[in-house]
Amino acid sequence: MAHKAQFYVLRGVLAVACAACETRLFTKINHVLNPRVAIIYMMITATSPGFFHASISYLPSSFAMYFVMLSMAAFMDWRGGLRTAQGIFWMAIGACFGWPFAGAMIIPFLVEEVLLGALTEWEDRINLLFRLLDAAARCLAIVVAQVAIDTIAYRKLAFVPLNIVWYNIFGSNGPDLYGVEPWNFYLKNLALNFHVWAGLALLSMPLLLAQHFLRTKGATKASSLRGVAYLAPFYLWLAIFSLQPHKEERFMYPAYPALALNAAVAFHIILANLGSTDSKDLISKIPVHLRLLAIVSFVAVSFGLSAFRTVGTITAYGAPLDVYTPLHDKGMSNEGDTLCLGKEWYRFPSHYLLPKGVHAKFIKSEFSGLMPGEFAESRETWAGTWKVPSGMNDENREDLGKYTDINNCDFLVDSDLPSTVATTLEPNYIQDEANWEKIECLPFLDAASTAVLGRLGWVPDSPLVPTEHRRVWGDYCLLKRRKS
């Protein structure tokens, strides 16, 4: 079970790292903006389904998200002097060692710095120049470290962040090969993962501007320019990635902290106006207890929607994490065994969940793109990082060498859903009891057969729920080849 323990320990470490970054940003929001904004921000990050899965994902975009939070905290903290160099430094780490596109999040903060420098005295402009030079020196050190690591790992001069940007923006093929989505993909996705907070995040800038121009008192301690700089990163990120044809949920991860901040500011402005006692305000005519009831109801609904989505996701799609557990039972598998995946290849979590010596392989399915390659196993130092698997290409062309024959499989993971139609390349292995023995079968949501409510979140499997709204289940199974 050592490998499986490593898998969950790694997730635990990532969760602690994310929590530390969230706490850092929380403290700066508390000091710079408003304690209530900070509390709302922490409430959003602690309960939203989006943070639930982004915080512990072993992905470059999650890593970048951590350092976006540290960078935002640095740009907010003006006590003892501006921390421009520190903010750029944190963002550079997230961009170089994580995901290079995360660097776009820094643009509004740099624009604010330049505007402030242009409007101040000559001495302040010199200080701005020194801060930028300090940041440039730090970034240069990060780039040198990145190039050194990449060069050692790949045994050739390489700068991976530049390669990523070049392929996705300037390359002739680009990521469109891997699917395209409509312009509103992220709006729908954010509505799922942040529900009411996503709407407030989108309303934050209009509310801030209305507060500035229509009210005599600001809702936060920050100036209007600084307020705009804090809220702009989320809008910028959403605009940039909504314009890209290829879209994935993980691309939004770096913007999650900015979304939470925007939503917190928007809700704070609404609360500040709901609490008005000025007789000139129409809101003051509404009884206080009704206003309080509306606020409590809104927060309760947000908690309920978060639980609805989070529990629904865990119960519906948890099988791919748990189905491999029986492989660790004594006598179930042996070193050198092969576990195969056909149409379920993209749900395979990690080799960490397999016993030592058991290898995952792919068998041909209806999917006709390029399958992941395998790291080289060698006594040479870091051979797996620099030896390129055969058949790799940047055009998503299928390589038949990535597959193994079904006869080489000792174990097989497959699904049997009511909406699934068996084909020649994707037969129903679960029903083939002559060749395969069921070791573990877990319920798995058949999204294609389930109504909208059941796909969105948790719906109890109860006769009290109307049939048309119940969730429809299939089997997600670990199979073992029967001996002849």
How much is the average pLDDT of 54-71? Answer: 96
pLDDT at residue 375, as a whole number: 86
Give residue 384's pLDDT band: very low, low, confident or very high (50, 70, 90).
Answer: confident
**Portion of the chain with pLDDT greater than 70, in percent:** 97
pLDDT at residue 417, as a whole number: 96
Give residue 259's pLDDT band: very low, low, confident or very high (50, 70, 90).
Answer: very high
Characterise 192 by phi-psi region: left (phi > 0), alpha (psi -120 to 50), beta (else): alpha
pLDDT at residue 1, as a whole number: 53
Domain boundaries, the chain: 2-315, 329-364+403-481
Give residue 401's pLDDT band: very low, low, confident or very high (50, 70, 90).
Answer: very high
Q: Are 417 and 463 in contact (CB under 8 A)?
A: no
What's the CA gap between 298 and 133, in Å, rounded? Answer: 47
Query: What is the overall mean pLDDT for the chain?
Result: 91
Output the pTM of the full model.
0.93
Considering Cα of 257, then 262, then 267, then 272, what sign does the dihedral take? positive
pLDDT tens digits for 172-196?
777 778 888 999 999 999 999 999 9
Question: Collapsing DSSP states into helix, strand and coil, what is residue 397?
Answer: coil
Listed residue (190, 198, 162) closest to 253, CA to CA: 190
- Provide the β-strand partners of residue 473: 445
With tokens 């992941």, the residue in question is: 372
pLDDT tens digits for 289-298?
999 999 999 9
Q: What angle do CA 357, 363, 366 make, to 5 degrees?
A: 150
Read off the tokens for 158.
């390489």
Greatest C-alpha distance within the chain: 87
Residue 171: pLDDT over 80: no
pLDDT tens digits for 9-51?
999 999 999 999 999 999 999 999 999 999 999 999 999 999 9
pLDDT at residue 262, as a whole number: 97
Between residues 170 and 464, which one has the greater pLDDT? 464
Q: Are 229 and 265 in contact (CB under 8 A)?
A: no
What's the CA gap between 182 and 215, in Å, rounded? Answer: 38
HSE, side-chain direction, 13 A CA sphere, residue 268 = 27
Listed residue (178, 202, 349, 186) closest to 254, CA to CA: 186
**Which residues are CB-contacts of 478 (< 8 A; sequence separation ≥ 6)?**
323, 324, 326, 327, 411, 412, 413, 438, 439, 440, 441
pLDDT tens digits for 191-237?
999 999 999 999 999 999 888 887 655 566 556 778 899 999 999 99
Read off the tokens for 173.
């093929």
> In 169-185, which positions are buried (b, 16+ CB within 10 angstroms) versus exposed (e)?
eeeeeebeeeeeeeeeb
Listed residue (364, 362, 369) closest to 397, CA to CA: 369
